Chains A and B, each alone.
Chain A
Amino acid sequence: MEPRKSFWKKALLWLTALFFYLPIVYIIVFSFNDSRSLTKFSGFSLRWYEKMFSDSSMMESVVYTIVIAVLATIISTIAGTLAAIGLSRSRRMLRSVVEQVNNLPVMNPEIVTAIGLLMFFSALGIDKGFLTLLLAHIMFCTPYVMLSVSPKLRSLDPNLADAALDLGATPLQALTKVIVPQIMPGIVSGALIAFTMSFDDFIISYFVTGNGVNNISIMVYTMSKRVNPSINALSTLVIAIITVVLLIVNIAPILKEKRRKKV
């Protein structure tokens, strides 16, 4: 009975993986396409990689995308978690107002948020570029973190933190040693969603940036005259970078362990 059950679970997961990665494999294959087509393969070539590496604005966009996404994720995860904890202990009035306002960036079509921010930054006379881009990303990422953390807080026993405080823990200790570990899965998924949102955002980024600060999405969407496979090459590069980082993160502890054993 048991092995059969886990067989079905495994089968489901690998089917899911097939669904998720079919388009990704497709993208990688077409990055080696000889022609400009994104749908018809006419031969193997590395020309789109050449084009990508020789295009400094494309390479810059990769750097900007990663830097912005990492910063926005870190800041919005911390801010969103703290705010969610604070919110869970606020009066109901305030809580429902904040929850509604918080939903606005999630539910408004991106263009509406984008135009709102554009007018806002212009009215303040802030020079658009890296800073405005980062602020905007923090602004729309934080609600996602809160949406992920809040349900975890709701199923958390509120007396735990109070017990810790009663037993002499400082508020900071109660926070980091008691509450945060309990809601960690929510924080992690919030951070992942925030990273995704920042990494993939086009419209808001487009309208709040300036001075040549472009992210990958802006490069992709504004290839209006004809999207070409150098975009696939760029995506493949991103996949490669992520894979390498994940490998390092996962393998580094193992290597460390081995070295320690040797010593």
Chain B
Amino acid sequence: MKKGIAMTLAGVLLVAGLAGCGSSQSGADNGATAESAIEKYGSDTLKLYNWGEYMGENVISNFEKEFGVKVITEYFDSNETMYTKLQAGDAYDVLVPSDYMIERLISENMLQELDLSLIPNLSNLAEGVKNLPYDPENTYSVPYFWGNVGLVYNHNNVDPAVIEEQGYEILRNTDYKGTIYVYDSERDSFMMAFKALGYSMNTDDPAQIEEAYQWLLDMNNTMEPVYVTDEVIDGMINGTKDIAVVYSGDATTILSENPDMSFWMPSEGTNLWSDAMVIPANAPNPKLAHEFINYILTYEASLDNSEYVGYASSNQEVLDELSTTTFADNEAYLPRTGYEKDEVFVDNQVLKKQLSELWIKVKATK
């Protein structure tokens, strides 16, 4: 059964790939115009809704030039913000939400199935980011960036042997009191606590949640942690603290700018996250949206994106290239794959609300 689907997919891809090559070549030759774009896609504007500072500097302008279209970009800074605007009826052609949010959008019928024949470059997709549980067959989503969450530490002040032995527990080791940054997000904090305790990060068992809550409370009360989000990047580059919980993509930036910093992916397991491109059900211009998704998967666009932002590319070739060139000595760039204790977030709104409330209580406890 699975094999059958794979075979058909491969066949479709092959045919589409040939067709795609032909069309993109003709586009480049003619120096595409708005008229030809309207003729081909029905419109010459694409509405993109993406994270801020999440694109290479020339990706959009190159796409606009090559296809003779205009891209209107709006930005969001959390999945929930994006969801709120989407639910209010705002129409976009392409969104780039995270794993659990895609799962939610699929379950609420807010996305349309991709026409894979229009995305021949899907064959460039990196192995580790294919067929993830939120969209097992990549029916709705094409990954954009991906990575893990781990610990960045100053190897002059923290013994690598200690951090490798203790993992997340080092955040409760009072030898390092007052020197830690914790990422201010309920899912990531509870992920650490669950993993440190040996549970699944998607657990909804009340006893395990209570135990994790106590773990975080204990950390809060004994370690004087500072809870930050993106300020962690500047903070660690400046060496303000010794240990920080960081997204691997941000860790890549930190490590390349401060040689005192190292990255450790705890052996208790971590979160394997990905942000992927999807087309909402009410997209005004799905044809062009497919073209855009296909374009992002090209080597050039993926390279520009990944090199500029520092997050791991979803393009296998770019991943191989950058991990041996620009980020060769950067242990944070390549995400860990195939490790059995790593998990992907599952959409569970009730749980999310509950953890969110507990997290506020942890932070507010003095």
Contact = CB atoms under 8 A, between A and B. Distances in A.
A211 interface: yes
Contact of A225 (B54, B72, B90): B54
25 contacts: A35-B257, A37-B234, A40-B238, A51-B57, A54-B57, A57-B73, A115-B84, A118-B84, A121-B88, A122-B89, A125-B89, A206-B81, A207-B88, A211-B72, A212-B47, A214-B74, A218-B75, A219-B75, A221-B52, A224-B51, A224-B52, A224-B230, A225-B54, A225-B230, A226-B230
Interface string B210-245: 000000000000000000001001100110000000
A228 interface: yes
Contacts of A173: none
Given A212-B47, A225-B230, A226-B253, A122 B77 contact: no
Interface of A: 35-40, 51, 54, 57, 115, 118-119, 121-122, 125, 128, 206-207, 210-212, 214, 218-219, 221-228
A54 B73 CA distance: 15
Interface string B16-57: 000000000000000000000000000000010001111001
Interface in B308-355: 309
A38 B234 contact: yes
B238 A128 contact: no
Complex A-B, nearest 4 residue pairs according to Cβ-Cβ distance, in ascending order = A224-B77, A222-B75, A212-B72, A222-B52
A128 B32 CA distance: 30
A52 to B, nearest CB: 12
B332 to A, nearest CB: 15
A113 B253 CA distance: 37
Contacts of B57: 51, 54
- Main SS class of interface, A: loop
Nearest to B237: A37
A212 B237 CA distance: 33
A224 B184 CA distance: 14
Nearest to A225: B53
A218 B76 CA distance: 9
A40 B53 contact: no
B85 interface: yes
Interface string B73-103: 1111110010011001110000000000000
A225 B309 contact: yes
A223 B72 contact: no
A218 B89 CA distance: 20
Contacts of A225: 51-54, 230, 250, 309
Contact of A210 (B51, B75, B90): B90
Nearest to B249: A225
Contact of B237 (A40, A206, A210): A40
A219 B75 CA distance: 8
A102 to B, nearest CB: 26
B52 A223 contact: yes
A39 B51 CA distance: 23
Contacts of A118: 84-85, 88
A100 B85 CA distance: 30
A222 to B, nearest CB: 4
A35 B81 CA distance: 30
Contacts of A228: 53
Nearest to A119: B88
Contact of A212 (B74, B78, B230): B74
Given A121-B88, A125-B89, A224-B52, 5 more contacts: A37-B234, A40-B234, A207-B84, A222-B51, A228-B53
Nearest to A37: B234
Contacts of A122: 88-89
A28 to B, nearest CB: 18
Nearest to B81: A206
Q: Which of B52, B77, B230, B309 has the most CB of A within 10 A?
A: B52
Contacts of A35: 257
Contact of B85 (A37, A207, A219, A227): A207
B146 to A, nearest CB: 14
Contacts of B75: 214, 218-219, 222-224
Contacts of B53: 223-228
B238 A221 contact: no
A162 B54 CA distance: 63
Contacts of A210: 74, 85, 90
A221 B77 CA distance: 8
A35 B238 CA distance: 12
Contacts of B72: 211-212
Contacts of B234: 37-40
Nearest to A115: B84
Contacts of B77: 221-222, 224
Contacts of A51: 57
Q: Which of B53, B57, B78 has the most CB of A within 10 A?
A: B53
A57 B53 CA distance: 12
Nearest to B309: A225
Q: Which of B54, B72, B74 has the most CB of A within 10 A?
A: B74
Contacts of B85: 118, 207, 210
